């Protein structure tokens, strides 16, 4: 195919492509699963291909924020025609309610999934009530 037809095909398949020498970014809002146990809230984010060192997790009284940048050169010595898995920036925020032990929040990254555990303060944990 000639170059003109290649550019038309790329634009039809992926609107995020910028033709020419310019680089572009893809903003990704990672998919999340949120679980609640008696002791904590657990947020799992799908972030495949990201280096653990590039992930930033912050938590304050109002917000849990997760961000990362995947900046790899995937040209492989040729001309990039479609770049759907190249440069990405991940960003996701969750509004937090009261009752989170912020000093005990922890995060683990394994097999492309970031797991953030937000322990509950004792006053918001469910308690079993004895019936008399």
Domains in the chain (CATH in brackets) are 26-73+82-124 (2.60.40.790)
Cα 118 to Cα 34, 42, 57, 82, 106: the distances in Å are: 11, 6, 12, 39, 7
Contact of 39 with 48, CB cutoff 8 Å: no
Average pLDDT in the 97-105 region?
Answer: 91
Enter the pTM of the model.
0.70
Give the pLDDT band (50/70/90) at residue 25.
low
Residue 65, phi-psi category: left (phi > 0), alpha (psi -120 to 50), beta (remainder): beta
| Region 7-30 average pLDDT | 48
Is pLDDT larger for residue 42 or for residue 49?
42
CB 24 within 8 A of CB 18: yes
């Amino acid at each position: 195919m000639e170059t003109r037809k290649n550019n038309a095909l790329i634009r039809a398949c992926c609107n995020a492509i910028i033709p020419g020498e310019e680089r572009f970014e893809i903003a990704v809002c990672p998919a999340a699963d949120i679980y609640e146990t008696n002791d904590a809230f657990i947020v799992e984010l799908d972030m495949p291909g990201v280096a653990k060192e590039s992930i930033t997790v912050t938590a304050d009284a109002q917000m849990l924020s997760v961000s990362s940048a995947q900046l790899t050169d995937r040209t492989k010595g040729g001309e990039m025609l479609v770049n759907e898995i190249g440069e990405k920036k991940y960003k996701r925020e969750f509004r937090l309610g009261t009752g989170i032990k912020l000093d005990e929040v922890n995060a683990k990254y394994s097999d492309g999934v970031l797991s953030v555990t937000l322990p509950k303060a004792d006053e918001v944990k469910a308690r079993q009530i004895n019936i008399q």
